[in-house]
Amino acid sequence: KVLETVRLPLLSPYFLHDCVESMAVVRQSPECYRYVEEAKLYHLLPDRRSELSSERTKPRNSADTIEVIVAVGGEDEKVVLRSVECYCVKTRTWRSMACLPFAVSKHGLVASGKNTLYLAGGEFPDGSASRSVWRYDPALDMWLEICSMLIPRSELGLAMLDGCVYAVGGWEGSYRLDSVERYDPSTNSWSLIEPMKMAVTSPAVIAHEGMLYVTGGAVLEDG
């Protein structure tokens, strides 16, 4: 009964393996071991976490919960960055978060309503566009790779609507894009949807009352 209330999936996988799994009470109880297996699957199959969701995978409500502003990647005097920082409005301080797996700029970034960040596409230091997509897990302070986009995109717009992530327009590496694709977390897959009326880079994209709105951006060769 006690172990049932512990958020095992939110613990370090090393602690699960080295300490929890080796406990005699866990090894001798099928029910306890089931909770450990649940936690291990949560770490081993990050792309299926929506299917593995339970009370034990949700961080507890806390009176100390605070809002932060997150800065992810980008460029510093033409040096492409991997660093990630968050600014606490309450304390007016910056602190470091888990770095990106690679240096990238001109990417798309969106926050879900579940304190999760999605990073899609971007431009590598060599100028090529990326298809990679990563999800930040705040409970583990880790970036987890998920299904790549169908088309490489930098300077794209990214938004969430009804639990899905939408990648809008952008730069493929040699031309602007009018295509739009949608990521479904429940299936860990991308699919192309109706394209825009024109190709555009760096658009502003927002979801509101079941609709996706795209405005601005660059459409001409001179930007």
pLDDT in tens, 11-36: 777 777 788 888 887 788 888 888 88
Q: CA 48 to CA 190: how far, in whole Å?
A: 15
pTM for this model (two decimals): 0.73
Q: Does the pLDDT at position 5 exceed 90? A: no
Share of the chain above pLDDT 90, in %: 46
Domains annotated for the chain, with CATH where assigned, are 3-57 (no CATH), 106-215 (2.120.10.80)
Q: Which of 42-56, 102-116, 144-158 has the lowest mean pLDDT?
A: 42-56
Q: For position 32, what pLDDT does the model report?
A: 81
Sign of the dihedral defined by the CA atoms of residues 69, 129, 142, 58, in that order: positive
pLDDT, mean over the chain: 86
Query: 83 by DSSP, 3-state: which?
Result: coil
The number of CA neighbours under 13 Å toward the Cβ of 87 is 6
Residue 199 in contact with residue 178, Cβ under 8 Å?
A: yes
Per-residue pLDDT averaged across 163-188, rounded? 93
Q: For position 59, what pLDDT does the model report?
A: 67
- Per-residue pLDDT band for 63 (boundaries 50, 70, 90) equals very low
The structure tokens listed for 183 are 């990521």
Task: Please give the distance of CA 60 from its chain centroid, rounded to a whole number.
Answer: 20
Q: CA 81 to CA 40: how far, in whole Å?
A: 32
Q: Does the pLDDT at position 9 exceed 60? A: yes
Q: CA 39 to CA 9: how far, in whole Å?
A: 4
